[in-house]
């Protein structure tokens, strides 16, 4: 067998240069080592398995509570449609940008875009992405039903006093929310933290869409989406374990100094919905969404931050996620949604979700770290591509030269 021809001083095979020339013309070989690998069946099935188990649990719970399984105001259905449209737009953007890079033009040719579409967006990948999206929102729908029936399955049982006493014990007899109000103030800070809290609504679908479309390895995207999905049933289980309303409902006097905000409006709306639900649980679209232990705002953002480290993401993204995590945790306590122990429970939920997702998908995070070609080798490849036909023979490898499979983190 004829050995690969290699460049002097870098040890890279000539077929890398040929691949580079093909990419400049917008053509991709089927042997392209950068082509995305198809996800395993196990990683594709993991999301639907979580959805099926959670939906079955919700069906049993709603039946036991004597209320229908429903999607009030078609909220989850509308969210799924919006996220589906977002993902479709991101796919088009992915194709255009990658084709532009290959053809080195602002407006890539149709041939280049067709090549990228065939390489990156086969029907296998499309089915995997679509299945992940539908499964995530099916799990979320089931979670909303489980959360809604907690006061029916455990009537009259609330642990707010015990949770409040526990956290005061952690802070020397002081109320953590009152400490934050004194430390941060109760003016514009309330509006800022209200915005931070609401960012969660945007963060969840955006993070899912971005990771499914732009992950170099779709298996990494499916791992993250599966982990995010698992947070929902784990959160519902924690609500059933220790039913609680949260500080703003159990002790509203501690939050009367906060100015009106989007969060205070939402808190009033949720309380009204809960009272209506308890008055007539079987009424059309009746539901309630108040539960404190543990915090899924904290758990899901924590899941994303840890996953960013596991998948070897850039330091800017990792720092940004940790900042968002810290601000969200502060907001949940400052605004009265959760006790400190609820946020601690969120950490446990997030770590458990990641561990279970890793088992279900069979994903090994090390496989998601991208192979980085050393700078010297990249320079040699570009030089050879500019001078065709001059390196198609074998050179001896100098001592200490870089190998083609060398990588630097």
Q: Give, for all 409 residues of the chain, the pLDDT tens digit.
A: 444 444 344 444 444 444 444 444 444 444 444 455 678 899 999 999 999 999 999 999 999 999 999 998 888 999 999 999 999 999 999 888 888 888 777 788 888 888 888 888 888 899 999 999 999 999 999 999 999 999 999 998 999 999 999 999 989 899 999 999 999 999 899 999 999 999 999 999 999 999 999 988 899 999 999 999 999 999 999 999 999 999 999 999 999 999 999 999 999 999 999 999 999 998 888 899 999 999 999 999 999 999 999 998 899 999 999 999 999 999 999 999 999 999 999 999 999 999 999 999 998 887 665 433 334 334 433 444 444 444 444 444 444 444 444 443 4
Joined tokens for residue 135: 């499964």
Boundaries of every domain in the chain: 16-385
Helix %, strand %, coil % of the chain (to 5): 70, 0, 30
Provide the sign of the torsion angle of the four alpha carbons 212, 210, 327, 314, taken in this order.
Answer: positive
**Burial environment of residue 126 by CB neighbours within 10 A (0 to 12, 13 to 18, 19 or more):** exposed
Other beta carbons less than 10 A from residue 230's beta carbon: 27
Residue 347: per-residue pLDDT: 97
CA distance 370 to 392: 28
Contacts of 177 (CB under 8 A, 6+ apart): 247, 254, 255, 333, 334, 336
CA distance 265 to 259: 11
**390-406 per-residue burial string, b: 16 or more CB within 10 A, e: under 16:** ebeeeeeeeeebbeeee
This prediction's pTM:
0.80
């Amino acid at each position: 067998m004829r050995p690969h021809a290699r460049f002097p001083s870098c040890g890279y095979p000539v077929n890398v240069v040929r691949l580079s020339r093909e990419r400049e013309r917008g053509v991709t070989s089927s042997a392209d080592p950068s082509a995305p690998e198809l996800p395993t069946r196990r990683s594709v099935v993991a999301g639907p398995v979580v959805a099926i188990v959670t939906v079955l649990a919700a069906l049993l719970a709603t039946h036991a509570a004597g209320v229908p399984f429903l999607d009030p105001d078609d909220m989850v259905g509308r969210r799924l449609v919006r996220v589906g449209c977002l993902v479709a737009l991101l796919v088009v953007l992915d194709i255009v940008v990658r084709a532009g890079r290959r053809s080195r033009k602002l407006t890539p040719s149709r041939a280049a875009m067709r090549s990228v579409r065939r390489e990156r967006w086969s029907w296998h990948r499309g089915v995997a992405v679509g299945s992940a999206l539908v499964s995530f929102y099916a799990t979320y729908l089931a979670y909303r039903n489980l959360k809604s029936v907690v006061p029916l399955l455990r009537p009259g049982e609330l642990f707010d006093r015990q949770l409040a006493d526990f956290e005061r014990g952690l802070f020397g007899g002081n109320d953590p929310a009152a400490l934050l109000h004194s430390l941060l103030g109760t003016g514009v800070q309330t509006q800022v933290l209200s915005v931070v809290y609401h960012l969660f609504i945007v963060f969840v679908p955006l993070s899912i869409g971005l990771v499914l479309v732009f992950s170099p390895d779709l298996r990494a995207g499916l791992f993250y989406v599966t982990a995010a999905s698992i947070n929902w049933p784990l959160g519902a289980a924690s609500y059933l374990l220790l039913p609680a309303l949260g500080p703003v409902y159990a002790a509203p006097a501690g939050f009367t100094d906060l100015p009106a905000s989007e969060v205070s409006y939402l808190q009033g709306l949720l309380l009204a919905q809960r009272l209506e639900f308890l008055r007539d649980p079987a009424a059309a679209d009746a539901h309630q969404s108040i539960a404190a232990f543990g915090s899924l705002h904290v758990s899901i953002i924590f899941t994303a931050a840890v996953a960013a480290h596991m998948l070897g993401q850039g330091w800017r993204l990792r720092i940004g996620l940790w900042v968002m995590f810290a601000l969200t945790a502060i907001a949940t306590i400052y605004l009265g949604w959760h006790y400190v122990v609820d946020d601690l429970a969120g950490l446990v939920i997030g770590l458990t979700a990641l561990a279970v997702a890793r088992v279900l998908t069979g994903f090994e995070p090390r496989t998601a770290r991208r192979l980085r070609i050393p700078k010297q080798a990249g320079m040699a490849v570009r030089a050879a591509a500019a001078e065709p036909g001059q390196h198609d023979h074998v050179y001896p490898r100098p001592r200490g030269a870089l190998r083609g499979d060398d990588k630097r983190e």
